[in-house]
Structure 1
Amino acid sequence: MTERAVLSEGDTVGANLHVKQAYRNLTVPQLVEAALKRGEAVLSATGAVVATTGARTGRSADDKFVVETPAAASMHWTKFHKAMKPETYATIKAKALAHMAEREMFVLDASAGADPAYALPIRVVTEYAWHNLFAKQLFRDAISSDQQPQWTVLNLPSLKLDPAVDGSRSEVAAMINLDEKLILIVGTEYAGEIKKSIFTVLNMVLPSQGVMPMHCSANIGSKGDVALFFGLSGTGKTTLSADPERILIGDDEHGWSANGVFNFEGGCYAKCIRLRRESEPEIFDAIRYGAVLENVVLSDSRDPNYDDASLTENTRAAYPLEYIPNVSETGMGGQPETIIFLTADAFGVLPPIAKLSPEQAMYHFLSGYTAKLAGTETGVGSEPQATFSTCFGAPFMPLHPTVYADLLGQKMREHKVRVFLVNTGWTGGSFGVGKRMSLRDTRTMVHAALAGKLDAVEMWHDERFNLDVPVAIEGVDNSVLQPRQTWADASEYDRVADDLAARFRKNFEQYAERAGETVVNAGPQA
């Protein structure tokens, strides 16, 4: 059993970190009580803890750094993974150590990874009780007493940096030191930074072990068939994987090894803006005692108002997997049979579903096209922005994209996996003119794909996007399957579609040489 006692003043919590007082591995009720008593959060009518995060209601993508140390030699430096000089890191770390030495801190020993062969023991040290509750619900069970954490996350939201003094870009910084195996997050209360920092570390260390780390959800059918759903925030990973007809493995982050698929997490971090029980009952009913609501507005009677976006569109719910019915007890599954690439096409020109060849799958995996929905990052406005995020998770992939693409291609070919591109975005026009794809239609199409009903059906070929689209799917209006027919002005559709196809080609130029001619030719054509 892990220790739950309140430790004495001057406690050492590991990684040479000293605090005024440490609360180790508290239970859910203890963390709920602490968060309420300390005024960090309030309780909703559903029993969930509700916290707000101030100005930072999404990831601070421009403030994410990896320290330039010898262990960072294999880093692929991008705008998502910027280098930080060791001396800058040392300045900020010294300030962080002094800050926490005067404060009570909450300590969680946990693990990331359901497969024991690849599980990463971690320690999460937080200034706020509700952040520790978030981590307890999102990561997996506490490590055994004979295990030592391999990585430490230190989260200090009340420590605001001064760029002129500390050398940071803003008052916020999320730093990864690969040599020290320490993640230091300061200046932001957004809990997602904790989760995504560990995901980034796993994406760094697992490929060398032959494991494909994936920003995807996963579930299992009644016949043991495993499906993967790739897509960025807001494209439907959580919604489509929380299927009452299938067993959920996890909703966001997984590994694919020789043993099969395994969840990195022990919980879900679902968007809940405009949440409805009738459309997403599993998520709706999971928001109860022990769950954490982030930036959700409450009524006077403490009922969550999921329609209120006054704080952010990126309202979130964190809850343990066991709050979801039909969830895998092990967090593991066999080799996948079907992969779904999800995109929320803000232009409204992509078909709602298309079957991909292996080469097309590689093209669209490297492209990672979607619309970045409002609020998922600081700096994203009220309208979606078209973006290409390689591997459907560029902000969390610290190695070169082709490392992950090569792993995916190898595993797809080895296990003969069927792949589909599914547009959960707009139809009948671009954002602001058209409407969002019907969730009912999307689910019908996805169920048909998972059941193998689209393996040998009549297809029409979209010449512009070089995609094969079913002519008909039972339960779906045939016109939806022909995007051009849903627009009032066909010539306007052609103009917008040509523009998006050109964006695909322009974006893929960076991968063309490494990907090869057959993959390049699998994408949209002029």
Structure 2
Amino acid sequence: MSIHVDLSPQEITVPVVVRNASPARLYEDALTREKAGVVSSGAIAIRSGAKTGRSPKDKHIVRHEDSEKDVWWGSTNHPIEEHTFLLNRQRAIDYLNTRDQIYVFDGFAGWDPNHQIKVRVICARAYHALFMHNMLIRPTREELENFGDPDCVIYNAGQFPANSLTAQMTSRTSVDISLERKEQVILGTEYAGEMKKGVFTLMHWLLPPKGVLSMHCAANEGKSGDVSLFFGLSGTGKTTLSADPTRRLLGDDEHGWSDNGVFNIEGGCYAKCIGLALDKEPDIYRAIRFGTVLENVVYDKTTREVNYNSNAITENTRAAYPLKFIKNTRMPSLAGHPNHVIFLTCDASGVLPPVSRLTPEQAMYQFLSGYTARVAGTEMGVFQPQLAF
């Protein structure tokens, strides 16, 4: 669905820009220009490089007078000055402009039209373009023709490192977000999950002032219209439990809750696939087909069969696929107010019973305290569950 796009506002001057390419075209480029392979199910298997999880210690938010009072600064949100952000932004743009071909994906975040934003992804890898094709809400041809200026821009130059001598850099990896500019800059990591998390971070900033609760949760809907939410950190089971064949899936990770009900922010799912088996998670297993991105999995080079039990590359093996690949999906991905709220806790210290029914007061306490643990592999440097609040 390639339609000409003017990238001069983003200072991109590359001669060949592949915009909103089909999965088939992106497969071809990933196979010929990157070290990718097609597995027996038809999915494309690819490596994310040295980084196989997110790098939260290298994530930075621009400290700006318009937003600094509303950001929870600390171990999650590390401040950088705007000048540093602009240096990294220019470094990313300069790198992208050295490529003979780049990819652009224009899509949407937020299924509720009242709270939807236009997102532009600019990247140098077909893998990243296909990933965001799956994870954002894909536009129709008419919507793409009338896309206009994006609300948010992601500059993914992950193959190129940050300059560690630049002020406030913690390593050769830097994932920077400017809330005022609504831009994300990625340097020194090719892990695709940084892009989806960047969009979610921006939605965390945009939605609450509009009276919408942004939630790190999965959601599904029963036949009677009852809605369930599954809160939990990455790797705690949101995707697995929400993919219930008897209930319609809204989404597996990011949602908003407005006065009108719940809506998904994303257009796809990002499932962990370590230990994946047809008899245990049939919907997710069947969603791994042509168009799906398999990240850092091990497969037999002769039979092309994936070994989902192998963690030879990482514990954090992943599959990214569009919502429509799940058979029982609610489309568009909007529903009423929640009837059930479930907190999924990785209880690394063993202080909680396996299942607890909470009073409203207890539920509020758990929501605010957020007792859980970071799961091994989901973040760089996390090899054992680490307590988190």
Q: TM-score range by the shorter chain?
A: over 0.9
Within 5 Å, which residues of 2 pair with 1:48-63? Answer: 48-63=43-58
- Aligned residue for 1:320? 322
Equivalent position SS for 1:132 = helix
1:70: how far off?
A: 3.4
Q: Structure 1 counterpart of 2:191, which letter?
A: Y
- Out of 375, 378, 384, the residue aligned to residue 376 of structure 1 is 378
Unmatched tracts of structure 2, length 5 or more: none
1:149: how far off?
A: 1.1
1:44 aligns with 2:39: yes
Equivalent position SS for 2:380 = coil
Deviates more, 1:195-204 or 1:139-148: 139-148
1:362: how far off?
A: 1.2
Spell out structure 1 runs of 4+ moving beyond 6 A: none
Within 5 Å, which residues of 2 pair with 1:70-109? Answer: 70-73=65-68, 74-103=70-99, 104-109=101-106
**C-alpha distance in 1 between matches for 2:161 and 2:231:** 35
Equivalent position SS for 2:66 = helix
- Aligned residue for 1:362? 364
CA contact (8 A) 1:283 1:324 kept: yes
1:199 aligns with 2:196: no
Equivalent position SS for 1:355 = coil
1:58-117 deviations in Å (ceiling 9; x for gaps): 000001011122332322212111111122222222222211111121001100001111
**C-alpha distance in 2 between matches for 1:248 and 1:13:** 39
CA contact (8 A) 2:60 2:175 kept: yes
**C-alpha distance in 1 between matches for 2:53 and 2:279:** 27
1:366: how far off?
A: 1.3
CA contact (8 A) 1:91 1:166 kept: no
1:345 aligns with 2:347: yes
Q: Structure 1 counterpart of 2:198, which letter?
A: S
More helix by share: 1
1:40: how far off?
A: 3.8
CA contact (8 A) 1:40 1:128 kept: no
- Out of 17, 21, 38, the residue aligned to residue 22 of structure 1 is 17
1:120 aligns with 2:121: no
Q: From the superposition, tell whether residues 339 and 165 of structure 1 become closer, same or farther in structure 2 (CA, over 3 Å).
A: closer
**C-alpha distance in 1 between matches for 2:145 and 2:120:** 13
- Aligned residue for 1:237? 238
1:331 aligns with 2:333: yes
Report % sequence identity. 46
**C-alpha distance in 1 between matches for 2:31 and 2:66:** 41
**C-alpha distance in 2 between matches for 1:75 and 1:198:** 16
> Taking structure 2 as the reference length, what is the TM-score of the superposition?
0.94
RMSD: 1.6
1:248-298 deviations in Å (ceiling 9; x for gaps): 000000000111100001100000001111000000111110000111011
> Taking structure 1 as the reference length, what is the TM-score of the superposition?
0.70
1:306 aligns with 2:278: no
CA contact (8 A) 2:261 2:338 kept: yes
**C-alpha distance in 2 between matches for 1:108 and 1:162:** 27
Unmatched tracts of structure 1, length 5 or more: 389-526
**C-alpha distance in 2 between matches for 1:225 and 1:322:** 21
1:364-416 deviations in Å (ceiling 9; x for gaps): 011112222110101112x222222xxxxxxxxxxxxxxxxxxxxxxxxxxxx
1:13: how far off?
A: 5.6
1:506-525 deviations in Å (ceiling 9; x for gaps): xxxxxxxxxxxxxxxxxxxx
- Aligned residue for 1:163? 164
- Aligned residue for 1:151? 152
1:17: how far off?
A: 3.2
Equivalent position SS for 1:379 = coil
1:274 aligns with 2:275: yes
**C-alpha distance in 2 between matches for 1:166 and 1:43:** 42
Q: Structure 2 counterpart of 1:318, which letter?
A: A
- Aligned residue for 1:488? none
**C-alpha distance in 2 between matches for 1:255 and 1:162:** 36
Give the paired residue count.
382
1:220: how far off?
A: 0.3
Q: Structure 1 counterpart of 2:263, which letter?
A: F
**C-alpha distance in 2 between matches for 1:386 and 1:95:** 36
Larger gyration radius, structure 1 or structure 2: 1
CA contact (8 A) 1:49 1:289 kept: yes
**C-alpha distance in 2 between matches for 1:168 and 1:175:** 10
Equivalent position SS for 2:113 = coil
1:295-343 deviations in Å (ceiling 9; x for gaps): 1011132211111101110110000111101101110111111100111
Q: From the superposition, tell whether residues 387 and 20 of structure 1 become closer, same or farther in structure 2 (CA, over 3 Å).
A: same
1:178: how far off?
A: 1.8
- Aligned residue for 1:419? none
1:221 aligns with 2:216: no
Q: Structure 2 counterpart of 1:101, which letter?
A: N
CA contact (8 A) 2:61 2:176 kept: yes
